[in-house]
């Protein structure tokens, strides 16, 4: 028996909407239980809260800038999946390297020295495949990122 592609696609889309709705409910429940922080939802579909915010007009990274970050990854129950120590400091070139989708967007709104906790649905993290190790399929994650250094591409590096 042959299944029409449009039927399969429609079924997949419907299933994805259900999964996304369940994830969103879990994320909103997590946020509601965190009375110490105020979260903002981004236009990209993740939530975030500042742990340390730099006031004023400091530089935020742009495409091709190299940044140095520290970060961790946790489950929605705050159990650590990967600790900051385990992941170490990461150099990342903005918009040029594969990285967690939400963090690719989120880092671009950060100033050097800031720390932000991101609550990320699976479609903005590791999606339907997980990371092949500790992060399962369709798993929402929490990541606290500290932007340690920005090296601007138009800056002379000696």
Bridge-based pairing of strands 66-71 and 47-52 is: unpaired
Phi–psi pair at 155, nearest 5 degrees: -90, 140
Which pLDDT tens digit goes with each residue over 40-84? 999 999 999 999 999 999 999 999 999 999 999 999 999 999 999
Q: How many CB atoms lie within 10 A of CB 130?
A: 15
* In-domain check, residue 156: no
* In-domain check, residue 51: yes
**How many structural domains comprise the chain?**
1
Q: Which residue's entry shows tokens 């800038």?
A: 65
* In-domain check, residue 158: no
Tell me the residue range of the domain where 66 lies.
5-151
* In-domain check, residue 101: yes
* In-domain check, residue 120: yes
Q: What global pTM score does this model have?
A: 0.89
Instruction: State the DSSP string of 27-40.
Output: HHHHHHH-TT---E
* In-domain check, residue 99: yes
Which pLDDT tens digit goes with each residue over 106-157? 999 999 999 999 999 999 999 989 999 999 999 999 999 999 999 998 644 4
Cβ contact 141:74 at 8 Å: yes
* In-domain check, residue 68: yes
* In-domain check, residue 56: yes
CA–CA dist 116, 5 (Å, integer): 42
The CATH number given to whatever domain includes residue 126 is 3.10.50.40
């Amino acid at each position: 028996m042959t299944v029409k592609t449009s039927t399969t696609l429609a079924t997949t889309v419907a299933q994805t909407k259900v999964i996304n709705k369940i994830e969103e409910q879990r994320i909103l429940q997590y946020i509601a239980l965190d009375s110490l922080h105020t979260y903002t939802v981004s236009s990209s579909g993740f939530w975030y809260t500042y742990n340390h915010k730099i006031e004023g007009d400091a530089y935020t990274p742009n495409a091709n800038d190299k940044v140095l970050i520290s970060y961790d990854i946790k489950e929605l129950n705050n159990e650590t999946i990967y600790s900051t120590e385990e992941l170490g400091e990461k150099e990342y070139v903005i918009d040029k390297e594969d990285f967690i989708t939400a963090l690719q967007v989120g880092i671009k709104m950060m100033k050097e020295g800031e720390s932000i906790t991101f609550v990320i649905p699976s479609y903005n993290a590791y999606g339907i495949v997980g990371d092949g190790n500790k992060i399962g399929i369709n798993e929402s994650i929490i990541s606290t990122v500290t932007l340690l250094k920005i090296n601007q591409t138009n800056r002379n590096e000696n």
